[in-house]
Amino acid sequence: ILHNLVKQHKTIGGMNSFIIVSAILGMVGCAPQFGPPVAILRQESSPIFNGNWRSEFEAENGIIQSMVGELDNSGFQVMRGSYSYPLDDGSIAAFNWIADSNGYRVESPLLPIAPVNPHPIP
């Protein structure tokens, strides 16, 4: 009987420890995981009634975005833009892009350049 009481006491003690550790981990997990809101320094949008438009955005954390949309000669919407943001090392990641009848294309020194295919594509 004494052996069963000791075994039961160890189980209850282990369960209490488990509950306490779980509660502490739950409180840590509930702590805010984000910083304060980032202020918007500039946000402009200017639609033009002929199908052209322009949009610009800048935030205090260094994110900058700019877009221009216009109709080409065939009436197809062409969009061009750029965006940049600071990296952890202090450098700036910058991207320029265009979306038109040939699809979406982006350029950046951060993106790898595909090697030239030495074989012709049929």
Among 82, 80, 35, residue whose Cα is nearest residue 60: 35
What's the pLDDT band for 5 if we cut at 50, 70, 90? very low
What is this structure's pTM? Answer: 0.64
Q: In what order do the strands lie in the sheet with 103-107?
A: 40-47, 53-59, 64-71, 77-86, 92-100, 103-107
pLDDT one-digit tens code per residue, 64-113 = 999 999 988 887 889 999 999 999 999 999 999 999 988 999 999 998 88
Give the per-residue pLDDT at 29.
65
Q: Which residue has the higher pLDDT, 1 or 107?
A: 107
